[in-house]
Amino acid sequence: MKHSFKITLSIAIPLILGNLTQVAYGLIDTAMIGSLGYKQLAAASLVVNVIAIPLVVGIGLIMSVTPLVAIANGQNNHQKASHILFNGWMLSIVSGIALAVIVHLVSVFLPQMGQDPEVAALAKNYMIIMGYSLIPMMIFSACKNFSDGLQYTQTAMTLSLLSLPLNAFLCWLFIYGHCGLPAMGISGAGLATLISRLLLAIAMIVVVTKHKVFEPFISHRKEAWQLRSATIKEMLGIGIPSSLQYSMESGAFSVSGIMVGWLGAVPQAAHQIALNCASTTFMVALGFSMAGSIRISDAYGKGELNQLKLVGRSTALTGLVYGILAALFMVLLGDYLPYVFTRDTVVIPTAKMLLVFAAIFQVSDATQAIGVGLCRGVKDVVRPTIYVAIAYWGIGIPVGYLLAFPMHLGVTGIWTGFVTGLTFSAVLLNYRFFKTLKKLSFNKVSSEL
């Protein structure tokens, strides 16, 4: 199991760094926006919560590229892997444009969401720009998932890390109006993200199509790069349930964020600080989940049942241990983390309190992320989607609402709902994966391919 952990870790580290880089985009935006005032920070929180749903819908739709490429690679079928890449590009472009248009339309209704009028006004343009940044982000994700499925996880990580200082510089330019540019405030952060994501997508396309590592796959482009409805259907068969999983989880956080907004701008700003911290630690768990899923898909493609069991157990244990360490980290630094985002003495006490709740759900958050990835690795996505729906929308949101409003616990009640939903999801998803392993045999795995 130790050897298996090391292999998974070598795949996971670049994924983790890449994930953290994407979170760092938001952290940079939040930190710079926070210096403008808590109203601007609350507006950023509103946009992050609302746009999270289309964001994860897009990520989920294109997530199918990774396991399908990994399975094809496990079968040594380079042409099929290349074919999936091309169809992934087509799916990413169409879905990215559709999501951007939807976000633009939704931005019109921000004032009707029961938010502070000034906060809603500040958020509108920022949300529109962030919506259109989803298009290059989707294209980048298609390339990234192809590379990840081949276990070349360093590719996207390197480009993401290089884009981070660029994003920070552009935020500095556009938010505050340096070098003769007009100060755009919160909208400047959105423009910086749009430009950074566009350049990142272009760079990733160039690497995937030109680097010699990918040449064995790209060389099949004449016969493989064809749009086929059967391939799109297969991708959507995994992508839609995966998208629903992510959107129901993120949607639950988004709806909860909107409910926090009903309590006022101060709780909303504090909520965003705690959520940013929790999202950062979650990116590590997500990296392990993605790495485990890649290895599971590879073993599934080869029909290696013993490898499936070994990777599954070692990855699940890794998630549990990491969750405990993340919880300790949150507890030990809880008094200091809010100051990274704001110096407002009205917001900081509430943020410190919410970080305690964020620490509590670290274990459940990490283990449920692992469970989702492992199930996806064996193309088991429908039943896990049902589990996620029950966990968040049948338990988490109702519990959070009842505690926050009828029982008058405020924002702490909403975060208690988070903990409850995450715990339920973690238990069911991991149970589902290991139950599935018991039903598999080498012959069955081979016949399914």
Dist. CA 187–CA 175, nearest whole Å: 7
Highest mean pLDDT among 183-192, 221-230, 252-261: 221-230
Please choose, from the candidates 217, 79, 66, 83, the residue with its C-alpha nearest in 3D space to the C-alpha of residue 149. 66
Q: Does position 64 have pLDDT exceeding 50, yes or no?
A: yes
* Residue 441 pLDDT class (50, 70, 90 cuts): low
- Residue located via tokens 């705690």: 274
Read off the pLDDT of each residue in 353-380 and give the average, rounded to a whole number: 89
**C-alpha–C-alpha distance, residues 122 and 388, integer Å:** 33
Q: Which pLDDT band holds residue 129 (cuts at 50, 70, 90)?
A: very high
Q: Could you please report the per-residue DSSP string of 266-333?
A: HHHHHHHHHHHHHHHHHHHHHHHHHHHHHHHHHHHHHT-HHHHHHHHHHHHHHHHHHHHHHHHHHHHH
pTM: 0.74
Name the residue with tokens 């959070």: 400
pLDDT single digits (tens) 212-227: 999 999 999 999 999 9
Name the percent of the chain lying above pLDDT 90: 33
Range of lowest pLDDT (42-46, 197-201, 260-264): 42-46
How far is the C-alpha of 411 from the C-alpha of 261, rounded, in Å?
Answer: 10
Q: Which residues contact 317 (CB under 8 A, 6 or more apart)?
A: 1, 5
Say what the pLDDT of residue 442 is: 45
Of the candidates 341, 329, 366, 337, which has an alpha carbon nearest to the alpha carbon of residue 353? Answer: 337
Alpha helices, H only, 108-179: 117-132, 134-149, 154-176
For range 345-361, the mean pLDDT: 89
d(CA 230, CA 269): 46
DSSP notation for 235-264:
HHHHHHHHHHHHHHHHHHHHHHHHHHHHT-
| Residue 223 neighbours by CB under 8 Å, 6+ apart | 79
Dist CA 44 CA 26 (whole Å): 9
Q: How many CB atoms lie within 10 A of CB 338?
A: 24
Mean pLDDT score, 254-272: 84
By C-alpha distance, which of 178, 200, 203, 201 is closest to 188? 178
